[in-house]
Amino acid sequence: MVKIGIMGAAGKMGRTLVQVINQDPECCLAGALESSSCPLLGQDAGTVAGIQPQGIFLSSDPESLGPCDVFIDFTTPEALPSHVEIATRQGKAFVVGTTGLQQAHFDLLEKASKTIAVLWAPNFSVGVNLIAKLVQIAANVLSAGFDVEIIEAHHRLKKDAPSGTAIKLLEVLKEAYRTSDVVYGRQGITGERPAHQIGVHAIRGGDIVGDHTVSFCGIGERIEITHRASSRETFARGAIRAAKYLAGKSPGRYTIEEVLGL
């Protein structure tokens, strides 16, 4: 039984994680951390998540958490440094799905990996990580004579653009196309499209969970690889799968591809 602590347990992803953990016989909720400003502090994490009480209460004190094997963090870049410190100090494996990170955040994760097991991924969906492989295969075949564009869409509350997943797909394409020529949206008289330029476009609106499309546009044909997420559960299930994989692992950096066997 893997004991999981959730950082940001009252947030949208935090509540979804609590719901999915409750459905998984191989793990249990062992801690629910929230910021000191959260108005729900002291409430049962299960009740907050809309399920039966779990006997685990939202707390802003990391020392009050029960014995955890792994922490999962889907909060904000601003909260990450303190969460890294908590996981490192307590010697717990650390799964991170927060996007919008800067190099300083990745440096913190790298430093933490010297003493604990760490896994960061921009997307924990099985399908998204599979299409990254498919995009790599397609790009290696189509890099000559095909223009490539990334279009991603998310809900109106998402704070970073482009998404972490779009950035991951972009890195795959930059390597295959051997280019650093990237344009983020277009406006005005842009002239003819340069060969091997990669376009990236972000849509924000409504409650879109997450859509990603990579279009390879040739003469007389177009190939599109698309993934659409209809529920946050797909990300939560992937993160819990990663947590179970990381439990008991030696210190180091691990990847979602290792978890999924890709």
- Residues designated as active site: 154, 158
HEC string of 89-152 equals HHCCEEEECCCCCCHHHHHHHHHHCCCCEEEECCCCCHHHHHHHHHHHHHHHHHCCCCEEEEEE
Long-range contacts of 35-38 (CB under 8 A, 24+ apart): 35/8, 35/60, 35/79, 36/60, 38/10
Name the 3-class secondary structure at 84. helix
Helices (H) and strands (E) in the chain, counts: 8, 11
Q: In this structure, what token pair is assigned to residue 14?
A: 């935090």
Residues 6 or more apart in contact with residue 122 via CB below 8 angstroms? 97, 99, 163, 164, 165, 167, 168
Q: How far apart are CA 221 and CA 128, in angstroms?
A: 24
Q: In this structure, what token pair is assigned to residue 71?
A: 């922490």
- Residue entry with tokens 């498919």: 134
Element (H or E) spanning 16, and its range? helix 12-23
Could you give phi then psi for residue 215, rounded to 5 degrees?
-110, 125
β partners of residue 185: none
